[in-house]
A and B are shown apart, each in its own frame.
Chain A
């Protein structure tokens, strides 16, 4: 592969992955010097047995939460970040534990910066690689397998009044420990399993083909792609299958580490725009945009596509003209069928008059810089039309 002249790679979390991983949560917290954590818990988990399991484990391990914070709506509002930080200070907590999906983990990551810096206002922690100093003990337990937020240096927070997204990027935001336990994802519905799994696949494919790919991000991306190939379908069809859930949790983490250290591309730039304008779930936007963008990028990523063809299946590798994108399309079509996902933007409820606004949003997105092919606004609109 072409070696970038300079790159940085960050992956500090201690990872506990697999059956029974959660059982070690109290030990990990205590090892970090945390006996009184603020617990941020996704409110959606209340219908599962997970909160009771975690409460029991913490009690057995003699870790007493300083406070529980469950007011965690989607899109990580800034007010919730500040409220969590305030509660932490008020209750004299000594560490942060977050259990939930992407929004909960992003809220926790932003709160970590506010708590650790002593900032009184959110503006004090905004920025890119601009956080200095130590952070408080921080443990993340993801309950979806898609964003890989537990392995990324990014958090996205929403301004409550202006409804705009604010991005924080710093390696200091990574947890000291991340716990991937298949028990956390077995209750996910098929649609979310499929959409989040495709999100992880998209992270990997964009990380592998983007301009800032490096040898380490590449290794992580390829490992994630293999796991998705082998396990996503089964995780949808047999939600209780612990092996597939374990594999998908790991795939999401690996993909998160990969893209966090290389960046992504136009699928994400457009996906973020669709999320902002049409309020589509992130995983769904990835599913709808992945193929049109990869096809557009094709001239610049032939070598990577050939490598992916070899990785994807022996039959494909042996074919006279192996086309990874055709195989990927068949894979996505099958997933859509199993999970009942839409196959076009129109089916997902996007209207054509929303597309120019999506383009304007995408044009401001940093992911465009790393797309392997330079894109104009007209190109972006054409890609949306192709997915429409």
Chain B
């Protein structure tokens, strides 16, 4: 595995954990996730053939699951290049910026992409210091502190939970 694949893979795991942690703590994240009914899956792929994060909504709630093949009730965001992926995933450029600058491909229903973009933007604003990111608009306010979010994400990765998220 290359350094960039390894980096993207690790960051995607933390992003996924961050979504689940904020899904329990932050009403804004809960609001974004309610856009996707049970049976929906959201996938962020670093690049074609690259590491992937898949979050699925089943009857018990949201959970990080293995990647799914394209199909109905799945939205997949894929970065067009390694550089674009790493800049966005490492929080240097917000995912909103990547989306608006056409640095990503979206597969599936475009009409439900926005909550996913906002959700990742929300997690990134919790995981990275403000000075680190060059956003395209104002960054969302934090509901959890930066260390609190990291601690929650590590906890989520070590002891996965999916209850509590609608």
**Complex contact B117–A369 (CB within 8 A):** yes
| In the bound complex, CA of A323 to CA of B140 (Å) | 32
Is residue B109 within 8 Å, beta carbon to beta carbon, of the partner chain?
Answer: yes
| In the bound complex, CA of A4 to CA of B113 (Å) | 23
From residue B47, how far is it (CB to closest CB) to chain A in Å?
13
**Complex contact A369–B100 (CB within 8 A):** yes
Chain B residues with CB below 8 A from A164, complex form: 111
| In the bound complex, CA of A79 to CA of B2 (Å) | 45
**Complex contact B110–A128 (CB within 8 A):** yes
Q: Which among B106, B114, B138 is the interface contact of A127 at CB below 8 angstroms?
A: B106
Is residue B104 within 8 Å, beta carbon to beta carbon, of the partner chain?
Answer: yes
From residue B95, how far is it (CB to closest CB) to chain A in Å?
11
Q: Which residue of A lies closest to B112 (CB)?
A: A364
Is residue B108 within 8 Å, beta carbon to beta carbon, of the partner chain?
Answer: yes
Q: Scoring A residues 112 to 153 as 1 if CB is less than 8 Å from chain B, else 0, what string do you get?
A: 000000000001001111100000000000000000000000
User: Given A127-B105, A127-B106, A130-B107, do A263 and B100 touch, yes or no (CB 8 Å)?
Assistant: yes
**Complex contact B109–A126 (CB within 8 A):** yes
Chain A residues with CB below 8 A from B113, complex form: 128, 366
**Complex contact B109–A364 (CB within 8 A):** no
From residue B97, how far is it (CB to closest CB) to chain A in Å?
9
Q: Scoring B residues 75 to 119 as 1 if CB is less than 8 Å from chain A, else 0, what string do you get?
A: 000001000000000000000100111111111111111110100
Chain B residues with CB below 8 A from A7, complex form: 101
**Complex contact B110–A127 (CB within 8 A):** yes
Q: How large is the interface on A (under 10, 10 to 19, 20 to 34, 35 or more residues)?
A: 20 to 34
Q: Which residue of B lies closest to A169 (CB)?
A: B110
Is residue A346 within 8 Å, beta carbon to beta carbon, of the partner chain?
Answer: no
| CB contact list, B9-50 vs A, under 8 A | 35
Chain B residues with CB below 8 A from A169, complex form: 110
Q: How many residues of B contact A (CB 8 A)?
A: 26
**Complex contact B107–A370 (CB within 8 A):** no
| In the bound complex, CA of A169 to CA of B106 (Å) | 9
**Complex contact A129–B111 (CB within 8 A):** no
| In the bound complex, CA of A365 to CA of B118 (Å) | 11
From residue A121, how far is it (CB to closest CB) to chain B in Å?
10
From residue A6, how far is it (CB to closest CB) to chain B in Å?
5
Chain A residues with CB below 8 A from B35, complex form: 364
Of A128, A129, A130, A365, most B-chain CB atoms within 10 Å: A128
Is residue B69 within 8 Å, beta carbon to beta carbon, of the partner chain?
Answer: no
Is residue A107 within 8 Å, beta carbon to beta carbon, of the partner chain?
Answer: no
| In the bound complex, CA of A8 to CA of B101 (Å) | 7
**Complex contact A126–B101 (CB within 8 A):** no
| In the bound complex, CA of A263 to CA of B136 (Å) | 13
Of A168, A366, A368, A370, most B-chain CB atoms within 10 Å: A366
Is residue A315 within 8 Å, beta carbon to beta carbon, of the partner chain?
Answer: no
From residue A260, how far is it (CB to closest CB) to chain B in Å?
11
From residue B68, how far is it (CB to closest CB) to chain A in Å?
15
Chain A residues with CB below 8 A from B107, complex form: 126-128, 130
Is residue A172 within 8 Å, beta carbon to beta carbon, of the partner chain?
Answer: no
| In the bound complex, CA of A369 to CA of B116 (Å) | 12
Chain A residues with CB below 8 A from B104, complex form: 128-129
Chain A residues with CB below 8 A from B99, complex form: 366, 369
User: Given A211-B137, A364-B114, A369-B96, do A130 and B101 touch, yes or no (CB 8 Å)?
Assistant: no
Question: Interface residues, chain A, CB within 8 Å of chain B?
Answer: 4-8, 123, 126-130, 164-169, 211-212, 263, 363-366, 368-370, 374
17 more contacts with CB within 8 A, not counting A369-B99, A370-B100, are: A6-B103, A8-B101, A126-B109, A126-B110, A128-B105, A129-B102, A130-B105, A130-B106, A130-B107, A168-B110, A211-B100, A364-B111, A364-B112, A366-B110, A369-B96, A369-B114, A374-B137
The 10 closest A-B pairs by CB, nearest first: A128-B106, A167-B110, A130-B105, A127-B107, A8-B102, A129-B105, A212-B100, A6-B101, A366-B114, A128-B110
